[in-house]
Structure 1
Amino acid sequence: MRTETVRSGGGVILDVAVCGDDETPAVLFSNAVGMQNALAAGLGAQFRAHGLNLVTWELRGSPGTDGPGRVTLDDHTADALAVLDALGITRAHVAGWCTGASIGLFVAHALGERALSFTSVDGALLFTGSPGARLGNAVFDMCAKISADHGRAGFYHEAVRPRGNESAVLGLSDEELTRMVTRPYRQDVEALTRFAYGIHATNDYDPVAACARLRIPSLFVAREDDEMVSHLHTRRAAALVAGAELSVLPAGGHYALFTDPGGAAGRMAAFMHRAGRQAGTSVR
């Protein structure tokens, strides 16, 4: 995995990771708000083995990015396009995980014919204004309240900062993965405020309209035991997209894309290669 820096709107500097061969088809992967590029390293290696080049960037609102400051869904989308343009990528498959799936929807629309396909993995597709599962609902409620009154960030920082039991809460056994996904809560109040702004921006859209106007091959993946986002929202999204493929697995949890990247990469890669052939392209 190599790293790049890309300048986006307003002089924002983005940390970008490129996980494969520049001559192979590109997958623009929108990770969730708050996540580091390193989280996608295993997935990137799996994609590389399947002849795809995973490209990702750290979203505004993630630890280490510019801020604190308000951010919009348009900002997230503009950043994605800036990454592709800076790397000289003309067409790409678009994929997103969790809140990144909401961003990915708008990236795919903004790319138009440059988008070869769209994939949502465990997407926070907010048909009820929240992710629809226990933990995700709590996170979104916190971020909405901080965004409305940033003075509340101190209270929430004290309430949610890790105390050594987060692995059990999240259903994880990998200490390094736990450290990465809880980083937004382990830093200071300013970082939590930035994270809240970044998350809240992904709530500002109509998911029914966004899904219904997709006109490219689409794949929706979810897990029934996901405590962060509801698989029912994924099912609803897939039903709105003409010709969409749907894969709902019984188990694996919200972080399965990273705990077992090979399990999802093969299915996603096969779908993307089919979509690429349908579009008449297999190159950058």
Structure 2
Amino acid sequence: MDSFRRDGLTFDVLDAGPSDGEPVVLLHGFPQDATAWARVSPALHQHGLRTLAPDQRGYSPMARPHGRSRYTLRETTADVLALLDAAGLESAHVVGHDWGALVGWALGAWHPDRVRTLTALSVPHPAAMSKAMVSSDQALRSSYVGFFQLPVIPEQLLLAGNGAALRRLLAHGGVPDDAVDRYVARMREPGALSAALGWYRALPWSGRDPVGRVRVPTLHVWSTGDAFLGRAATEATEQFVSAPYRLEVLDDVNHWIPELAPDRVAELVTAHVRTA
């Protein structure tokens, strides 16, 4: 399949690997797209896994609805359920990075019957994140979130000079040049960056719907070089998982784990899938 539909929106999907392999849904974050997994997927395919990587809400050109309320966590998790339905899958392994990890946490708590295993890269459980915001330096690390919720200004800053600020942000984090070019080009499409920022701007609505305990086997991968996410929330995450849980720490890797440590990610995901 190369696309699926939900609620009048059409989502692009990269569906690859053996069609009869264990299905693995790969969920990207901001400001990435499905190609964030381009260096991970081939190794998963070699191990017999099928990957389905959607361009999520706000990123697929035909799935950019207007209004902050259209980007709540309930909406973005429902998109993944629609993907599973369209693919004829009762359940799948879920791997998410950044915002994709947050969607994964919600799926593991709200729809454990649809999730065989969860692998969350970078982002901790949202309840652990909230706890760390008042007990560590996490609020300072997350200060950009408030900025991204402002109207108009983030778009003007990030896209000025053909996206120079966004390009610097990604390049400074070590994202490979070809990936930087893809992501910036996507965000420069009319309305694309505003749609992607809709995830941040919907946080007041998403916060009214707590994620709760995750009830599926969970692997959490965090990197010590992550400037946005600290150790406190990472270490507090286990208490919000009521299932087998493992934390894997990558030393000196920046936030962009799928692009910077693809071989290790593929190795960890493959081993985690085989535990199910």
**TM-score band, normalised by shorter chain:** 0.7 to 0.9
Question: Which SS does the other structure have where 1:55 is aligned?
Answer: strand
The corresponding residue for 1:205 is 207
Deviations for 1:206-247, whole angstroms, at most 9, x for unmatched residues? Answer: 79x53x521211111100111233343222212321331111
Deviates more, 1:96-105 or 1:106-115: 106-115
Amino acid in the other structure paired with 1:14: F
Equivalent positions of 1:123-272 (< 5 A) are 123=123, 125-126=125-126, 127-128=129-130, 132=138, 137-138=143-144, 140-146=145-151, 151-152=152-153, 155-157=156-158, 161-162=163-164, 165-166=168-169, 168-172=171-175, 174-183=176-185, 185-188=187-190, 190-201=191-202, 204-205=206-207, 210=211, 212-242=212-242, 243-272=244-273
Please report how far the alpha carbon of residue 252 of structure 1 lies from its aligned counterpart in structure 2 after TM superposition.
1.4
In the alignment, which residue of structure 2 is the partner of 1:26?
23
Q: Aligned with 1:76: secondary structure?
A: helix
Q: Is the 8 A contact 2:24 2:50 kept in 1?
A: yes
* Contact 1:62–1:198 under 8 Å retained in 2: no
Q: Distance in 2 between matches of 1:87 and 1:66?
A: 18
TM-score (norm 2): 0.82
- Which residue identity lines up with residue 258 of structure 1 in the other structure? E
1:157 CA drift (Å):
4.4
Choose 260-269 or 110-119, whichever is displaced more: 110-119
Cα 1:227–1:65, aligned 2, differ >3 Å: closer, same or farther?
Answer: farther
* 1:93 shift after superposition: 1.1
What's the CA shift for 1:182? Answer: 3.6
What amino acid is the match of 1:162? A
Q: Per the alignment, in what secondary structure is the counterpart of residue 23 of structure 1?
A: coil
Q: Distance in 2 between matches of 1:86 and 1:193?
A: 27
Q: In the TM superposition, what is the alpha-carbon distance from 1:81 to its structure 2 partner?
A: 0.8
Q: How many residues align?
A: 263
Please say which of residues 247-256 and 178-187 is displaced more in the overlay: 178-187
* Cα distance, 1:19 vs structure 2: 2.3
- SS for the counterpart of 2:150 is helix
Q: Closer, same or farther in 2 for the Cα pair 1:187/1:134, shift >3 Å?
A: farther
Cα distance in structure 2, aligned partners of 1:178 and 1:4: 23
Q: Give the TM-score normalised by structure 1.
A: 0.80
Larger deviation: 56-65 or 213-222? 56-65
Structure 1 contact 18–53 (Cα < 8 Å) conserved: yes
Q: Let me know the Cα RMSD of the aligned residues.
A: 2.9
Provide structure 1 residue ranges, at least 5 long, that are not aligned to the other structure.
276-284
Question: Percent of aligned positions with the same letter in both sequences?
Answer: 22
Following superposition, the deviation at residue 13 of structure 1 comes to 0.4
1:45 aligns with 2:29: no
